Structures are given as C-alpha cells and as structure tokens.
C-alpha cells in the first residue's frame, strides 16, 4: 500500500474513538495532490476532513495521504437534521461512526467546442474524461478516477473490512439518498447516499466493477 503520513493539526479532527460501521466515498472537486488537500483543510476552522485522501495524476498517482487515524473522526458528511426528519428517522451523528475516503478529482465536467472544462473553468485533457452512458444528476462527463486511485480505494476498503468488520457488499442504492445509510446501517456508501445535492463519487463503471469484486 502506497501510504504516507502528513502533518495535520489535532485541532482539525476529533480525537475520540467510536466503533466504525460505515465507509463513505468522496471526491475533492479539486486538484490532484492529497497533501495540499490536507493543508487546505487545516486552514478551515470547521474541522471538515477525512482521515485519508488519494492523490491523482499530476501528483503521485494513487498515493494515500493520511492525516489522522481512521479510529478518530472529523466532519465530512454535512447532513442537515431536516434530511433525517424528511425520512422519519432519528438524527444520528454518522460522522463519528464512519470513515471517509477522499479522492482527488474535479468531478463533473462540461463540454464546449470539443474541449472539457471543470466547474472553475480549467480544461481537463480528453484522456482524463469518463463519459457515462446515462447522465448522472444532469452530467454525462466526469473527471476520470485513475486506475491507481481505484486500486488504492480497494486496498483501504479491504483493510477496514478486516480491522472494523465493515461489510463490503455492493448495493445499487448508494448513488442516491438511502435510508440504509441514514439509519447507520453498516456498509460502503457514497456522499450521495446522504446528500441529494452532492455528486461524489459519481457512478464510474470501473469503480463499480471494483466495488462489486469485493
């Protein structure tokens, strides 16, 4: 496993241990360097972070950058109380009982004059674009998760299955808000599983193939 530790202030996460039941897959909607992602999080007083971030092409592709132990927690889901209320469920602090994986990736892309652009207007090379057969949340083009990032994600999922007994079975409902996630049911989810307004991670066929293989 290609993993490095990076300095991350203790004030930016909650150094409390809680049983881990869930894993959430995120992407940064930003650049490719996991160390720089932690530096940006360190400048945020709200303690928003995940314990690991996977760098992408343009940095050390697939490198897992760890800022704090998976046994601790930080805010990474941002679920409003109204989401639980709308599903007639009690409010649960899912941040405490879950582990987040952040993948360095720009996310949704737009196509203009034969070129692809991220949401801040930066051009993304065509060989780093995934085209979905069916649009997802209004978008058909996304920044590609690299093979190395997908493999590092797989390795982390297997590790945490062994360490925390979190089940890895694949469920199709993880791409939309699901009460399974909101109830705290054990398993692997995406940010979409608890937030209608999110598009991370998107249903990349290669990522899905990996998840189904676990």
In tens, the pLDDT along 136-188 reads 999 999 999 999 999 999 999 999 999 999 999 999 999 999 999 999 999 99
Confidence at 201, pLDDT banded by 50, 70, 90: very high
- Residue 7, pLDDT score: 97
Residue 89: partners with Cβ closer than 8 Å, 6 or more residues away: 179, 182, 183
Q: How confident is the model at residue 46 (pLDDT cuts 50, 70, 90)?
A: confident
Distance from chain centroid for Cα 91 = 22
For residue range 50-90, list pLDDT tens digits in order.
Answer: 999 999 999 999 999 999 999 999 999 999 999 999 999 99
Q: How far apart, in whole angstroms, are the C-alpha atoms of residue 193 and residue 160?
A: 19
Number of H helices, E strands in the chain: 5, 11
Burial class (CB in 10 A: 0-12, 13-18, 19+), 88: exposed
CB atoms within 10 A of CB 32: 22
pLDDT for 45: 87
Residue 6 has pLDDT above 90, yes or no: yes
Q: How far apart are the first and last CA of the chain?
A: 17
Do residues 68 and 13 lie in contact, with contact meaning Cβ atoms separated by under 8 Å? yes
CB 173 within 8 A of CB 185: no
Q: Are 200 and 193 in contact (CB under 8 A)?
A: no
Confidence of residue 44 (pLDDT cuts 50, 70, 90): confident
C-alpha 16/C-alpha 127 separation (Å) is 42
Q: Which domains does the chain have, with CATH numbers?
A: 3-105+145-213 (3.40.80.10), 107-142 (no CATH)
Cα gap 180→170, rounded to integer Å: 13
**Residues 99-140: tens digit of each pLDDT:** 999 999 999 999 999 999 999 999 999 999 999 999 999 999
Q: Taking the complete model, does pTM exceed 0.75, yes or no? A: yes
């Amino acid at each position: 496993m290609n993993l490095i530790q990076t300095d991350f202030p203790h004030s930016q996460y909650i150094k409390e241990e809680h049983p881990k039941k869930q894993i959430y897959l995120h992407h940064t909607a930003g650049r490719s360097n996991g160390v720089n992602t932690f530096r940006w999080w360190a400048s945020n007083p709200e303690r928003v972070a995940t314990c690991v971030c996977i760098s992408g092409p343009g940095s050390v592709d697939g490198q897992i950058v760890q800022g704090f132990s998976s046994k601790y927690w930080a805010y990474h889901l941002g679920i409003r109380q109204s989401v639980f209320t709308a599903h007639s469920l009690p409010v649960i602090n899912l941040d405490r009982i879950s582990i987040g994986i952040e993948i360095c990736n720009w996310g949704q892309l737009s196509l203009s004059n034969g070129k692809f652009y991220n949401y801040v207007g930066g051009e993304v090379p065509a060989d780093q674009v995934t085209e979905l057969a069916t649009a997802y949340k209004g978008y058909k083009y996304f920044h590609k998760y690299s093979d190395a990032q997908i493999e590092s994600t797989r390795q982390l999922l297997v590790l945490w299955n062994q360490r925390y007994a979190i089940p890895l079975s694949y469920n199709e409902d993880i791409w939309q808000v699901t009460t399974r996630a909101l109830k705290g049911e054990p398993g692997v989810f995406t940010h979409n599983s608890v937030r209608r307004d999110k598009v991370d991670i998107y249903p990349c066929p290669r990522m899905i193939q990996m998840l189904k293989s676990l």
